[in-house]
Each structure stands twice: as C-alpha cells, then as structure tokens.
Amino acid sequence: MELPESGKRLTIYDTETPKLALRVTATGTKTFYVVKRAGASVAWVKLGIFPDMTVEQARKAAAQALGEFASGANPAAARRAFKAELTLTEFFAEYATRHGEKKRAWAADQQRFRDYLQKPMGNCKLSEIDRAMIAKVLSGAEKAGKSVATVRNIRALASGLFGKAVEWGYLDYNPAQGVKVAGKKVSRDRFLQADELPRFFAAVAEEDPAMRDFILLALLTGARRANLCAMHWRELDLSSGVWRIPRTKNDEPQNVTLCPEAVAILEARKDSTGGGFVFPSKSASGHMVEPQKAVIRVMARAEIPYGRDVPNGVTLHDLRRTLGSWQARTGASLAIIGKSLNHKSPQATAIYARLDLDPVRQSVNTATAAMLEAAGLKDKADVVTLPTKRSAA
C-alpha cells in the first residue's frame, strides 16, 4: 500500500461492512472508524488501531456501533461508551480484587493470563473478544507443545473470566462457551519403584537439611506441594501423629496421618524453626515457595529422569502418587487411599466421610515401611532414622 503525502490521509472502505473505514496516515498508522452520516454532518467514530484491532474485530465493533445508531443512539454518546468499556487487562484487575485473589490457584491464574491471554487479547475491549479469538489462543498453545491439561486450564481461566463479566453486567454472553480443547488429559501413573528408592534416599541425604526434610515429608505424607510449603507448627500434633491442614485444594480441611519417620523428622526441626512455619523463608509469604530446583538435583544424583514431559520422568507431585501406589501395593483399598491423599469425587466422598483415621494410619505406616524396606533402610517395624549427611536443621 502506498502511503499518502504528509498531512493527508488515505481512506479505505470495507467491502463487507460499507460504513467501516480504515484511515491511513503518512506515517503508516492505520485506524478503523465507523462513519455515521446524519443529514449534512458526518461523525467518525474511532474503533481501534490496526494491528491491535484486527479486521474481524473491527467489523464486529462496527456492527455493534451501527446497531446502536439504528436504535437512536447518539454517535458521540456511542463513542464515549465504547471508550469507557473495559479492556480485558483492565477487567482482569477488577476480577482479581473481586474474585481472583480468593482462589487457591490465583498465582497460577495470574501466570496463565500473562503467558497466554494478555498479549493477544489484553488490549481488546471485552465486547470485541469472540470465540474465534479464544480458539486461536488455545490452538497456539497446542501448537507450542503445551499439554492438554495446560490448554484446558487456559480455557477454564478464560471461561471463568468471561463468566464473571456476564455476572457483573459487562457482557451478555460468555465467548468461551462452546470452545473445545482437542485431545484427552493423560493421567500420570509414574511413581518411585523399589529399585529406585535406595538411590532416591541416598540422593535426598545430600541436600541441605530444609530441602532434605521437605522432600522426605512430601514422600512420607503424600501432601500437596502448596500445603507442605505452608505447613505451620500450630497445625501439628506430633504426640498424636496428626497434621491438620485447615484448607486444601478441595477447599476442605484434611487430617494427614504422620508415620513415625515423619514425626521424627518434624521433631528434629522443631527447635530450629520455633512456632512459625515449618519451612520458613524470606519470601513474601514467609514460607518456602518453590522446591523444584532441589527436586531436580535429587533426581539427577539418583539417576532418575525428571520432568513431566521426559520419558519415564518423575516430578515432585509423583512423590505424592508414590505413597498412594505403595498403599495399593500393600493392600489398601481405594477408599483408604482416597482418604489419606484427600482425593475428592462425587462417588467416593460419602465413603471417605465414613472412614476412621485408624485404618488410614495403618495403611500409610504399612506403605512407608514397605518403601523404607525396599530402600534397604528398614528390616522390621522399628522407626528408622533416615540417612542424612548433614546435621538436622
């Protein structure tokens, strides 16, 4: 396209939406307008600047503006209303205050918004965003090699955002509805095998005391990372061998049974950390946040593949699965395993609720004993001191 002379503008009308115009300046700036004629006067209602606004978005915005004009809206008033409408980024800030910050997975939602939604749609007005745009974002994530679970989480965030926009009166419909995610979420079944446990425990012993204890407790309790990071001494009753988590991923409290080895680890930490977090840090939260680097080091020393996308790879979450798998191997029922790991499903919830903690304790103790025996650390039902190469913190 040849640019106009300095001080002039080139106007191009859309063939599909006749009253939609694109004005091009001598510097190459391209701006979409709706042209509204009323007798001898002409109103140019600015819609957006290309490429931040695509042709498809401009056509949709033009159709909306023309519909308002047809119903008697004043062009100047329509222009002011459009300018006042929130962009997705502006709405996300309101969403954070009114809803997002209350969510358990808020940090993950913020990361997904920054990485996947903000760049392609953040500057768009809410009414400009349609199914095609959301589908394009999801397709881009799929082509980039993101897992089906990640793509589903992106879609869930978009649906939740626009659902609140509808609820709060910003939109009339949710553009994420009807957008499908291809492929099935693959359920992982990786857990530490008997021949890997000796190498694993030896590698954990090389870590500094805090990370060593954290990783061992992740295995021995089956607790989720976030709950273990935020473990607080007020939640622990070591004499009874119970850890009371006030709020879990399921938004419900959980009693975690502590095997004798887990109690011994915590007893050793108690004097050094006082009455606050079991794993304190200088982070904003005051407790440990991300132990991934330590887990990577441990797996490297143990010569165990690390990573969700690595063949036969192990992640921190797989330590939680390891406890459940060894419970199953040592004869625990699915209901017992679900209770101990705080799994939740409509079918199993009623069964979990009727379970006493005693059979859960027996199952966890049996499973942890079997793991320690497989690692060559325990020959009988005695409490063992797990290998360390540094003094306890």
pLDDT mean over 250-262: 85
Q: How far is CA 346 from CA 156, 216, 303, 349, in A?
A: 20, 31, 39, 6
**CATH fold group of domain 197-374:** hpI Integrase; Chain A (1.10.443)
pLDDT mean over 310-331: 84
Range 242-255 burial, b when 16+ CB lie within 10 A, else e: bbebeebeeeeebb
What is the domain class of 9-84 according to CATH?
Answer: alpha beta
Specify the pLDDT at position 346. 44
pLDDT mean over 85-102: 89
Task: State percent of the chain over pLDDT 70.
Answer: 85
pLDDT mean over 236-248: 90
Highest average pLDDT, of 90-99, 252-261, 313-322, 348-357, comes from: 90-99
Long-range (24+ apart) CB contacts under 8 A made by 222-226 are 222/256, 222/319, 222/320, 222/322, 222/323, 222/324, 222/340, 222/341, 222/364, 223/256, 223/320, 224/248, 224/249, 224/317, 224/320, 225/291, 225/316, 225/317, 226/104
- Residue 296's pLDDT band (boundaries 50, 70, 90)? very high
Mean of per-residue pLDDT scores for the chain: 83
Specify the pLDDT at position 64. 82
pLDDT mean over 375-393: 68
Does residue 375 carry a pLDDT above 60? yes
Q: What is the bridge-based pairing of β-strands 30-38 and 41-50?
A: antiparallel
Identify the residue with better confidence: 160 or 379: 160
3-class DSSP assignment, residue 83: helix
* Least confidently predicted of 71-75, 117-121, 186-190: 71-75
pLDDT mean over 205-219: 94
Residue 117 DSSP label: I
Distance CA 299, CA 240 (A): 33
Does residue 353 carry a pLDDT above 70? no
pLDDT mean over 24-50: 77
pLDDT mean over 74-101: 76
Tokens describing residue 20: 């939609």
Q: Kindly give, in sequence order, each residue whose CB lies less than 8 Å from that of residue 290, ignoring residues fewer than 6 positions away.
A: none
* Least confidently predicted of 28-37, 85-94, 133-142, 161-170: 28-37
Contact 324, 222 (CB under 8 A): yes
- Residue 254's pLDDT band (boundaries 50, 70, 90)? confident
- Angle of the 197-204 helix axis to the 292-301 helix axis, nearest 10: 120
- Residue 350's pLDDT band (boundaries 50, 70, 90)? very low
What ranges in the chain are assigned the alpha helix state H?
55-70, 75-84, 88-98, 106-112, 118-121, 131-143, 148-167, 197-204, 209-221, 225-229, 260-273, 292-301, 316-329, 334-341, 349-354, 357-374
Q: How far is CA 277 from CA 89, 229, 251, 369, in A?
A: 35, 8, 20, 27
What ranges in 274-343 are assigned the alpha helix state H?
292-301, 316-329, 334-341
* Least confidently predicted of 61-65, 77-81, 161-165, 341-345: 77-81
What residues does each domain of the chain span?
A: 9-84, 88-167, 197-374
Does residue 303 carry a pLDDT above 90? yes
- Its pTM stands at 0.56
Name the CATH architecture for the domain at 88-167. Answer: Orthogonal Bundle (1.10)
Specify the pLDDT at position 280. 92
Apex 322 CA angle, 320 and 323, nearest 5: 75
Specify the pLDDT at position 322. 85
- Residue 351's pLDDT band (boundaries 50, 70, 90)? very low
Distance CA 47, CA 79 (A): 8
Specify the pLDDT at position 39. 53
CA 17 vs. chain centroid, Å, equals 41
Does residue 62 carry a pLDDT above 70? yes
pLDDT mean over 9-19: 86
